[in-house]
Structure 1
């Protein structure tokens, strides 16, 4: 397939995971990081969830909760969502919003992220999000 993305038949990518703290997680990603809520559902076969865009609908995250409980803890400090900002000022703005919620950066497990200007934040479930000041590609 090479570099021609138009030839790839996948139209959307969704990364989904459960949480026991749906409202707090959505607040972290939407109000804190500035992603956009694109869809919300409730009472779907015992599940509720929210999808947030990165920044549109082609690539998005889905967070779900189940009426009988959902496992929410992150399995390791190396399970990362890495967000590459267009510049350091925009990354700093997201970090400032998170600080307003009382979310402080933590030390990255892999020193690569910090050495390249990244900041690592735990979401309410302990999953880590790395903010990078500029794109790699």
Structure 2
């Protein structure tokens, strides 16, 4: 049975791990939890980011020998429920860190937040609502 304390890893490919790190660490404020330290033939380069002490993290991968092109759709979302108005300074930091502010595909997210595409085109939604889970 799955419960709320089980660790979760969300993995996705990235064309540029340094750009992804700037966006998620410098822009969003997550921490680098782990990264591959050297290139090993046959292995993926990895960057893991997440909140310090959190039960989840992103694993961003790149296989230099057989790179995958990220294929995000307009509905591939990473939603952060802020429970407060979106701070324009946060949006500005995300854009300065390589993000692009975009309109949401679903108007719900424009009504209740701000959508910023990361350097690979995946969408981060900063939602003003509180998760009622």
TM-score normalised to the size of structure 2? 0.83
Q: Does 1:83 align with 2:54?
A: no
Q: Deviations over 1:21-75 (max 9, x none)?
A: 1110111111011111111114354211110113434110010111213223233
What does 1:51-130 align with in structure 2 at a 5 Å threshold? 51-88=48-85, 91-101=87-97, 103-116=99-112, 118-130=113-125
Instruction: State the 1:11 CA deviation.
Output: 2.7
Compared CA separation, residues 53 and 88, structure 1 to 2 (3 A): same
| C-alpha contact (below 8 Å) 1:20/1:69 kept by paired residues | no
What is the match of residue 133 of structure 1? 128
CA pair 84-55 structure 1, distance change in 2 beyond 3 A? farther
Counterpart secondary structure, 1:95 = helix
Q: Is this contact kept in 2: 1:119–1:132, CA < 8 A?
A: yes
Identify unmatched segments of 5+ residues in structure 1.
2-6
Gaps of 5+ in 2: none
Q: Which runs of 4+ in 1 moved over 2 A?
A: 7-11, 42-46, 54-57, 72-75, 99-104
Q: Do 1:36 and 1:56's aligned partners in 2 also have CA atoms closer than 8 Å?
A: no
User: What is the number of residues matched between the two proteins?
Assistant: 130
**Aligned-residue CA RMSD (Å):** 2.3
Aligned partners of 2:75, 2:3: CA distance in 1, in Å? 29
Higher helix share: 1
